[in-house]
Amino acid sequence: MTPALQAVRGMNDVLPDEAELWLHLERVVADWFARWGYRPIRTPLVEPTALFRRAIGEATDIVEKEMYSWRDALSDEALTLRPEGTASCVRAAIEHSLLHDGPKRLWYCGPMYRHERPQKGRYRQFHQFGAEALGYPGPDVDAELIVMCDRLWQELGVAGLRLELNTIGSPEERARYRADLVRYLEANLERLDADARRRLYTNPLRVLDSKNPRVREVLAGAPVLADYLGADSRAHFDGVRSLLDAAGVAYVVNPRLVRGLDYYNLTVFEWVSDALGAQGTVCGGGRYDGLFAQLGGRPAPGAGFAVGCERLIALVRDAGRAPPPPRPDAYVLQQSADGFAQAFLLADELRAAGFRVVQHAGGGSLKSQMKKADASGAWLALIVGEEELARGEVSVKPLRRNAPQVRVPRAETVRRFAQLLQEAKS
RNA sequence: GUGGCCGUAGCUCAACGGUAGAGUCCCGGAUUGUGAUUCCGGUUGUUGUGGGUUCGAGUCCCAUCGGCCACCCCA
């Protein structure tokens, strides 16, 4: 016997019940982006490996051990399945000179790939939608990006998301801080765990993220990044905060929030839920003014965020805000071959008039067809039986309320259908 | 990548080391064209997979695949 194949670990099928919720989310998101003036962009799932090495940073976990990278057998190119969306957007903006006539607001949505151990809210193929505001230097778009997220959560009916906010200053400010931080941590080396010691020289700011209580004890006495910020960085952060205050968006400043990708500067933020276990970050983002130059483009400021679709969908479902499955307006039944041909045309005419119509396929008794009609969730059963066929009529039976079944002349069925449907729903 | 818990019918779950079951779903019938309730009947499994121990393994052991949780990481 042929062994059954299964999907690749960490890469999931989305079955119809759940796929309808995905479609709902995608529609809401596309409309929401349009209302905020963001335009869609679609970039390849496969990019040159160098793009992510340069954008995300060599010393990050993503680049070090989580990327699906390979050397293509035909072209000998070093390729990678994208682990995130920002690098591709900025590459495309540079490659097509998108900023030649001014800044751009862009959004994307699609699958991303990271070779991590799967658990709830973390998969090897996962999906993100995100915004990139390219060419805007001020704190206004930082605040815009954050406020628009807040409004989306409201629209989706998701509550309980906490906004964590921080500024990590300019590269120069961060470099001076990093030097002092490393000096402090070296002085307390024996109190650090193995993980913190390893990071000390690869990515010392990430030590601030440690969940180990003993390490956090050490961090309590560490220098604070805020003390290294110059007037410009402080003014930028104050600008973001006052706009958030004006918009009524609450936040907590988390000085330990540094984010795992190297390209960020100034504003960084995360939207976090307590309802998702260990993978609680639903949305993360910030400013990345150095990324254009890092990828070989003319220097330009940028800011953006990415939202984890699987995590957001889990919150929408748990909040009971998944829309009910769409009902067909009518389910069409028939008895004979002649009846099928007639019913086929009737269903076609109704669909052309904009109604959702399912015609029974596969034969069976009228009783079994009625069971299918009921199970389909349809508002109405349209019966094209022997008797109806002989008289040129159609029987119309409401399935969702106790109302009498009526006979309608075939020729009038489509014209009267909207009225019949409305009665069935009332 | 590390550690812990767990894999039995499509789904939710039972079964002391001794004949694999229930509910649900699905199919048919209870009315000579009519669903959802009720009643009657029926199908459903290499117990994730492969080895081992045993007279005998769903149950114990090993490996492997998959899921969940934590670490780690991040959306």
Average pLDDT, stretch A326-337? 93
- What superfamily would CATH give domain A16-169+229-318? Bira Bifunctional Protein; Domain 2 (3.30.930.10)
pLDDT band of A2, cuts 50, 70, 90: low
The answer to whether the CB of A295 falls within 8 A of the CB of A193 is no
Which nucleotides of strand B lie under 7 Å from a protein CB?
1-3, 26-29, 33-36, 46, 65-75
What's the pLDDT tens digit per position in A198-248?
Answer: 888 888 888 888 888 888 888 888 899 999 999 999 999 999 999 999 999
Among A148, A113, A157, A198, which residue's Cα sits nearest to residue A24? A157
Protein-to-nucleotide distance from the CA of A7 to the C1' of B51, whole angstroms: 25
ipTM above 0.95, yes or no: no
Residue A201 buriedness (CB in 10 A; 0-12 / 13-18 / 19+): exposed
Which part of chain A has CATH 3.30.930.10? 16-169+229-318
Residues 6+ apart with CB under 8 A from A197: A189
CA angle, corner A158, sides to A154 and A160, nearest 5?
105
Residues 6+ apart with CB under 8 A from A41: A89, A92, A106, A107, A108
Distances (CA, A) of A213 to A217, A220, A422: 6, 10, 62
Crossing angle (nearest 10°) for helices A309-318 and A139-156: 40
Asked whether residue A306's C-beta has any atom of DNA/RNA strand B within 7 A, the reply is yes
Asked whether residue A100's C-beta has any atom of DNA/RNA strand B within 7 A, the reply is no
User: What distance in Å separates the CA atoms of residue A23 and residue A12, rounded to the nearest whole number?
Assistant: 16
The rounded mean pLDDT for chain A is 93
What's the pLDDT tens digit per position in A117-159?
Answer: 999 899 999 999 999 999 999 999 999 999 999 999 999 999 9
- What superfamily would CATH give domain A330-425? Anticodon-binding domain (3.40.50.800)
User: What is residue A1's predicted lDDT score, i.e. its pLDDT?
Assistant: 46
Average pLDDT, stretch A385-397? 94
Of A97-101, A181-185, A230-234, A413-417, give the lowest mean pLDDT range. Answer: A181-185
pLDDT of A29 above 90: yes
User: Strand B within 7 Å of which CB atoms in A 362-401?
Assistant: 364-368, 370-375, 381, 383-388, 395, 397, 399-400
User: Strand B within 7 Å of which CB atoms in A 273-302?
Assistant: 277-284
Q: Which residue has the higher pLDDT, A352 or A193?
A: A352
What's the pLDDT tens digit per position in A295-313?
Answer: 999 999 999 999 999 999 9
Which part of chain A has CATH 3.40.50.800? 330-425
pTM of the model: 0.93
Asked whether residue A111's C-beta has any atom of DNA/RNA strand B within 7 A, the reply is no
